[in-house]
């Protein structure tokens, strides 16, 4: 029996989805986490495995597995995390997945709208910015209740890159990444600090440029090393933290893919920005100081994803 209120559904029981479900269960912030998949048996088996770890790890959240493409048991979810879709393989870009994953995400979104009409939806399927836009169109939800996970992941990768370069704890590093989850990603060096000092004071410009480039290619680097599948530990951590911020009505300011309507001189597009997250999803987009080059990059990213987001309406 659920010991506290609240339900989060994770759609897709692959490595990403199952790890997200595990993290959410261990947070112990809701009574139930539902893990769904088109496969029979896999989500049920994973749920049983996670539940059997509760006494060891000291959490009470119950994980429920639902296979066969059913949404029974997901009804009335407070948050739905959409991980369903094909992962990248070596040599593939995120955009190579657009047509296949569009069909999957549209079907998921329509089911979510039917079973959990008041949910906040967090999309993680690639290509991220386009799939977030498609999920909003397919659910018909207000834009603030549909957001995408990318900025937190890309920022975490930037942080790790800087920490490793300097040999310092990650806790001493603050970074930020905006823009798209792809080629027009915009790492923001001007907002980065190490022990409170600007990044430009502790690293040469060429090393910063190298770390920016490595951050942009962070996902491809993991895919190339794994050879089969793509990253899921860091991405699931980011998605779970976003869901937790919604459930706790935290008001946390996080880098996410959110609907931008006038901020930074950009309107009418889903884009990686900082946003205040609460029970209703995105409370507001938070504008921060950017250099002229960074602002130009963000606007370039907006135009790059705008065209693709317009296309997904027909997919």
pLDDT at 233: 97
Q: Does 125 belong to an annotated binding site?
A: yes
Residue 121 lies in a domain: yes
Of 148, 167, 200, the residue at which a domain comes to its end is: 148
pLDDT at 96: 65
Of 148, 174, 201, the residue at which a domain comes to its end is: 148
Q: Does 37 belong to an annotated binding site?
A: yes
pLDDT at 308: 82
Residue 169 lies in a domain: yes
Q: Does 124 belong to an annotated binding site?
A: yes
Marked catalytic residue, from 181, 191, 216, 306: 181
CATH number at residue 61: 3.40.50.720
Residue 1 lies in a domain: no
Q: 214 and 304 in one domain?
A: yes
pLDDT at 226: 93
Spatial distance between the Cα atoms of 142 and 148, rounded to a whole number of angstroms? 14
Give the DSSP per-residue string, the chain.
Answer: --SSS-EEEEE--SHHHHHHHHHHHHHT-SSEEEEE-SSSSHHHHHHHHHHTTHHHHT--PEEEEE-TT--TT-TT-SEEEE--SPPP-TT--GGGGHHHHHHHHHHHHHHHHHH-TT-EEEE-PSSHHHHHHHHHHHH---GGGEEE--HHHHHHHHHHHHHHHHT--GGGEE--EEE-SSTTEEE-GGG-EETTEEHHHHS-HHHHHHHHHHHHTHHHHHHHHHSSS---HHHHHHHHHHHHHHHTT--EEEEEEEEEESGGG-EEEEEEEEEEEETTEEEEEE-----HHHHHHHHHHHHHHHHHHHHGGG-
Residue 67 lies in a domain: yes
Active site residue 210: no
Q: Does 80 belong to an annotated binding site?
A: no
Q: Does 111 belong to an annotated binding site?
A: no
Q: 221 and 156 in one domain?
A: yes
Q: 165 and 122 in one domain?
A: no
Q: 186 and 103 in one domain?
A: no
Q: 275 and 172 in one domain?
A: yes
Residue 183 lies in a domain: yes
Q: Which of 277, 241, 240 is nearest to 258 (CA)?
A: 277
Q: Does 314 belong to an annotated binding site?
A: no
CA–chain centroid gap for 132, Å, is 10
Q: Does 59 belong to an annotated binding site?
A: no
Q: 191 and 46 in one domain?
A: no
Of 103, 126, 148, the residue at which a domain comes to its end is: 148
Q: State the residue range of the domain holding 121.
A: 7-148
Looking at the structure of the chain, the number of domains it has is 2
Residue 2 lies in a domain: no
Instruction: Pick out the chain residues at pLDDT < 50.
Output: 94
Q: Does 112 belong to an annotated binding site?
A: no
Residue 82 lies in a domain: yes
Q: 55 and 197 in one domain?
A: no
Q: 216 and 132 in one domain?
A: no
CATH number at residue 216: 3.90.110.10
């Amino acid at each position: 029996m659920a010991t506290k209120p609240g339900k989060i559904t994770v759609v897709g029981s692959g490595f990403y989805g199952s790890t997200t479900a595990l993290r959410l269960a261990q947070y112990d912030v809701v009574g139930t986490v539902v893990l769904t998949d088109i496969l029979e048996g896999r989500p049920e088996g994973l749920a049983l495995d996670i539940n059997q770890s509760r006494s060891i790890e000291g959490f009470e959240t119950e994980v429920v597995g639902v296979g066969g493409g059913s949404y029974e048991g997901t009804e009335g979810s407070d948050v739905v995390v959409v991980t369903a879709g094909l992962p990248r393989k070596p040599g593939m870009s995120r955009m190579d997945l657009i047509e296949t994953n569009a069909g999957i995400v549209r079907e998921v979104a329509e089911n979510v709208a039917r079973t959990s009409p008041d949910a906040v939806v967090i999309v993680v399927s690639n290509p991220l910015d386009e799939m977030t836009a498609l999920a909003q169109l397919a659910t018909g939800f207000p834009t603030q209740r549909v957001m995408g996970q990318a900025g937190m992941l890309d920022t975490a990768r930037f942080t790790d890159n800087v920490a490793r370069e300097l040999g310092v704890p990650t806790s001493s590093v603050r970074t930020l990444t905006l823009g798209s989850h792809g080629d027009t990603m915009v790492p923001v060096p001007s907002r980065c600090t190490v022990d409170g000092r600007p990044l430009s004071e502790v690293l040469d410009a060429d090393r910063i440029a190298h770390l920016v480039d490595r951050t942009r290619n962070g996902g491809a680097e993991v895919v190339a090393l794994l050879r089969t599948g793509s990253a899921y530990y860091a991405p699931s951590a980011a998605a779970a933290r976003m869901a937790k911020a919604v459930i706790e009505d935290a008001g946390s300011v996080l880098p996410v893919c959110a609907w931008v309507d006038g901020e930074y001189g950009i309107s009418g597009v889903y884009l990686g920005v900082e946003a205040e997250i609460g029970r209703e999803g995105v409370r507001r987009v938070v504008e921060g100081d950017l250099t002229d080059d960074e602002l130009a990059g963000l606007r370039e990213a907006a135009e790059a994803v705008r065209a693709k987001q317009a296309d997904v309406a027909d997919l």
